Chains A and B, each alone.
Chain A
Amino acid sequence: MNTAYSQMNRARVLAAYLGDIRFELVKMIRTPAFAIPTLLFPILFFMLFGVLMGSARGNAQMSLFAFASYGVFGAIAPGLFGFGVSLAFEREQGLLVFRQAIPMPAGSYLLARMVMAMIFVAVGSLAMIALALFVAHVPLTFGQCVTVFFVNVLGVLPFCAMGLFVGSLVSGQAAPAIVNLIYIPMSFLSGLWVPMQFLPKAVQQLAPLWPAHHLVQLSLAAVDAPSTVGSTGNHIGALVGVTVLFFALAVRRLGGRGIRLFSAPRGGYVFLLRRAINVGMFWIAVGLVIAGVMGGNAPRAAGRTAATSNDAAKSVPDASGSAAHVGVAAPDKPVIADFDNGNANASYGLGFSASDDKMRGGDSSAAQQLVDGGAGKSRGALEVSGAVGTGIQYPFAGTSFLPNGTPNAEWTKQGLMDYSRKQTLRFFARGDGKDYLVMMMGPAVDTIPAMFGFTAGAEWQEVRVPLQSLGGIDLKQVKLISIGTMTPGAFRFQIDDVRVE
């Protein structure tokens, strides 16, 4: 027949898709009840909790947390509300049916709304990054900003799918209430408002059920915040699963109401193939969600937590490059290491590792191992042994901890930690009765480190280092904490339960 007539050239089809995106954007901009809360609330929350309260307390860590979590908060609303509420309304008003009677290109409506949601998130995210960098002075690298931006912009998709499902189910009248019932509790239970570690244990354990939890963990990991849980793959898997699952459910539900989101040819081989792909995708999605939920919290145990944060601890600004010359604020969590999980990892930074003076030309040696039976009734402790030589003027052997360290990085590239708000470094020690010392070093290499001496006797004894009166170190710029000895000869000591409070 007259097919040439109905043929559209590609440019016109593309223009139609773009036109629909623009149409949806204009529509949303003209709906201030949607646009203003969606764009401004996350930014206002970030300003209030991250910038004003955070900087008032000199707590860069809090700013970092607020930056990551309110970014995610801002990614939820455009998806949930943009799809959930608007779609329910338009479905009721007969618009969805009308759109499939006219030759709207396949999937254009869905695509336009998705892109619209992503543009909204992109604008909000850029605004928040600008505020974080120039107003709040959150220590962020360019790479971190880019990663967080993409986490947020792509992170809107699972919420689009959830919104689509809600919009396919409920009436336009009911949709805002239902969406809020999902939006607000999910934000709280996912640790967007209050960091996960301050929430009750039960809430922490249930967190992997909420898609927002997985997204905020990705965002926190992207800014190298301490105490993230789960692996990146795990979170991405759960989010992809949620997206596909809710999308499939919504398409099915709308199909039952006579609404097709894509124009699907009926019957025949193609149809069967599509059907098979759909069913396959659905079950893969279910699998991803289950895997995500099961794995999303598994590494809550201290060992894995530490390992994760070690992995994540990439490049918080280093001393040489940063203009501020202030370390990242130390986490509120006091425990650095308890050596109870068969490793010497710390809850942040690079874990304890044996160190000596060979780099400086000395001939001391040190080795460390984990031993059973720590201080009190704890499971394990760290034992360090070796011999201090006489090769150089200030020999040293022991174990060292980089609070903001990066694996396999040069000394000058290692990050700084701000301990200025902490009072005491404390740990338990026992050993061969010799004299030992705690050393703390800042970015400068050619100065005498701050030192605090103690004797390690046969019984466990607590060592308390008063940080504020220690002297010889700027607590805002701590690069290294070492525990060991400078006394020549063989030595052996154990430490346990290292905390800074």
Chain B
Amino acid sequence: MSSTPLARLEGAHKRFGKIAALDGLNLAANRGELLALLGPNGAGKSTAISLLLGLQQPDKGSAALFGEDPQSIDARRRIGVMMQEINLPAVMRPRELIGQTASYYPRPYETQAVIKRLGIEKIADRPYGKLSGGQKRQAQFAMAICGRPELLFLDEPTVGLDVQAREALWQVLRDLIHEGCSIILTTHYLEEAEALADRVAVVTHGRLVAGGTVDEIRAHVSRKSILCRSSLAMETMRAWPEVQQVTEESGRRHIVTRDAETVLRLLLAADTEVRDIEVRRAGLAEAFAEITANNPESLQ
């Protein structure tokens, strides 16, 4: 792994009127890793991507792609981009769209190879406007990777995909990383970050509030989950001071706590019938909830 970041934001500030979209954000994407940008809506994820793509300029601080101005065409020839909320020309076909995008790159993949790799042969020759939302995302993904990019920007790539298509896309992302491609991904599916990310950056209110590997982020969080089947009233459990939250899902209690050992003792004492006990470390979802909860301004 190279030590020079492929993409870097340093102390990036960006205001839109009175709203500070970015408030001194530092971010770096390293070679060969998948960086997941997490954060609530309006946290500044999209603005951060915009700066890295050279679509906007920071008011203060700097943005660089491969050590260059993100607007330089040399830098852009090394990236692939999948954006949200764009409509491609409805009368054109995915094969043509991929071919056109590929023509901008120095060493693209064959269009047919990309189509085959993503398994989108069936939609490749249908007008883009006639595709479903998920199929459109697949076509856009194909356009993003067709240029054999060193760095791939994916903004919510799996929105609208069914489970099967999402799994397939994840597999392609893992393969791409394996082949040496780096990826910056924004997502609001935490399991997507959990499944793919080497590193996670949690952004709220235009600032980086937590960063590290998925394990490191989890370790930040002392919360654990206890899953069990119990006939004890939920109110009784909630009354224990160490318990933060109790829910029930398909007959299983889900107790969130910072002190799993104490709660376990209480549980075993109170309910001798308790079964199927399982203690889990926090997932990214819990971590994320805690991190953002600790930054109360982000809840606005």
Bind each other:
yes
Contact B66 A2 (CB under 8 A): yes
Contact residues of B between 42 and 98, Cβ < 8 Å to A: 53-57, 66-69, 71-81, 83, 85-89, 91-92, 96
Q: Annotate A382-394 by CB proximity to B: 1 below 8 A, 0 otherwise.
A: 0000000000000
Whether the pair B87, A12 counts as a contact (CB closer than 8 A) is: no
B101 at interface, CB cutoff 8 A:
yes
Residues in B neighbouring A9, C-beta threshold 8 A: 106
Question: Residues of A contacting B54 with CB < 8 Å?
Answer: 100-101
Is there an interface contact between B103 and A12, defined as CB atoms closer than 8 Å?
Answer: yes
Task: Report the Cα distance A2→B4, complex, angstroms.
Answer: 12
Complex contact B66–A103 (CB within 8 A): no
* Contact B81–A101 (Cβ < 8 Å): yes
Residue A27 at the chain B interface, CB threshold 8 Å: yes
Within 8 Å by CB of B78, from A6, A98, A104, lies A6
Q: How far is the CB of B14 from chain A (nearest CB, A)?
A: 12
A6 lies within 8 A of B103 (CB):
no
Q: Interface extent on A, as a size class?
A: 35 or more
A26–B103 contact, CB under 8 A? Answer: no
Picked from B77, B83, B85, B89, the residue with its CB within 8 Å of the CB of A103 is B77
Within 8 A of B (CB), among A238-294: 258, 260, 263-266
Q: 1/0 contact trace for B141-156 toward A, CB 8 Å? A: 0010001001001000
Tell me if B's interface is mostly helix, strand, loop or mixed. Answer: loop
Interface segment, one of A14-22, A57-65, A210-218? A14-22
Residues of B within 8 A of A264 (CB): 71
Interface set, chain A 65-100, CB cutoff 8 A to B: 90, 93-95, 97-98, 100
Given contacts A102-B101, A103-B76, 17 further A-B contacts (CB under 8 A): A5-B77, A5-B107, A6-B73, A6-B106, A7-B106, A19-B99, A19-B100, A23-B96, A31-B91, A101-B76, A101-B81, A101-B83, A102-B76, A103-B79, A104-B104, A258-B55, A263-B72
Interface residues of A (CB under 8 A from B): 1-3, 5-9, 12, 15-16, 19-20, 23, 26-27, 30-31, 90, 93-95, 97-98, 100-106, 258, 260, 263-266
6 A-B pairs with least C-beta separation: A93-B87, A94-B86, A30-B91, A103-B76, A6-B74, A6-B77
Which chain A residue shows the least CB distance to B75? A6
| CB–CB A23/B85 < 8 A | no
B residues touching A (Cβ–Cβ < 8 Å)?
A: 4, 53-57, 66-69, 71-81, 83, 85-89, 91-92, 96, 99-101, 103-107, 143, 147, 150, 153
For the residues of A in contact with B, the DSSP-based class is loop
A266–B69 touching, CB < 8 Å? yes
Contact A1 B66 (CB under 8 A): yes
Name the CB-closest residue of A to B92: A27
Q: Hey, which chain B residues are within 8 Å of A105, CB to CB? A: 73, 104
Q: Which residues of A contact B78 (CB under 8 A)?
A: 2, 5-6
A101 to B88, CA, bound (A): 14
Residues on B with C-beta less than 8 A from A104 are 104
Known interface pairs A6-B75, A31-B91, A95-B87. Does A101 touch B55 (Cβ–Cβ under 8 Å)?
A: yes
Pairs A–B under 8 Å by Cβ, sample size 14: A1-B68, A5-B77, A5-B78, A6-B73, A6-B75, A9-B106, A23-B92, A23-B100, A26-B92, A26-B96, A27-B92, A103-B79, A258-B55, A265-B71
Given contacts A2-B66, A6-B77, A103-B105, contact A266 B147 (CB under 8 A): no
In the bound complex, residues from chain A placing their C-beta under 8 Å from that of B100 are 19-20, 23
Q: Chain A nearest CB: distance from B87 CB in Å?
A: 4
Most buried by B among A15, A94, A105: A94
In-complex Cβ contact of B89 among A7, A12, A27, A106 (8 A): A27
> In the bound complex, what is the Cα–Cα distance between A20 and B104 (angstroms)?
10
B91 touches A27 (CB 8 A): yes
Residues in B with CB closer than 8 Å to A98 are 81, 83, 86
Q: Report how far A246 CA is from B55 CA in the complex, Å.
A: 24
Task: Name, among B57, B91, B104, the residue most crowded by chain A CB atoms within 10 Å (CB to CB).
Answer: B104
CA separation between A23 and B103, bound complex, in Å? 12
Whether the Cβ atoms of A5 and B106 lie closer than 8 Å is yes
A180 to chain B, nearest CB (A): 22
Name the distance in Å between B187's Cβ and chain A's nearest Cβ.
19
Residue numbers in A under 8 Å from B86 (CB-CB)? 93-95, 97-98
B103 contacts A16, CB within 8 Å?
Answer: yes
Q: How far is the CA of A103 from the CA of B147 in the complex (A)?
A: 10
Asked if residues B81 and A8 are in contact (CB atoms below 8 Å), the reply is no
Complex CA gap A447/B100 in Å reads 71
Q: How far is the CB of A12 from chain B (nearest CB, A)?
A: 7
Shortest distance from the beta carbon of A81 to any chain B beta carbon, whole Å: 16
Known contacts A5-B78, A7-B74, A100-B55: does B83 contact A15 (CB below 8 Å)? no
Residues of A near B104 (CB, < 8 A) are 16, 102-105
**Given A1-B67, A100-B55, also A263-B73 (CB < 8 A):** yes
CB distance from B141 to the nearest CB of A (A): 13
A52 → chain B closest CB, angstroms: 35
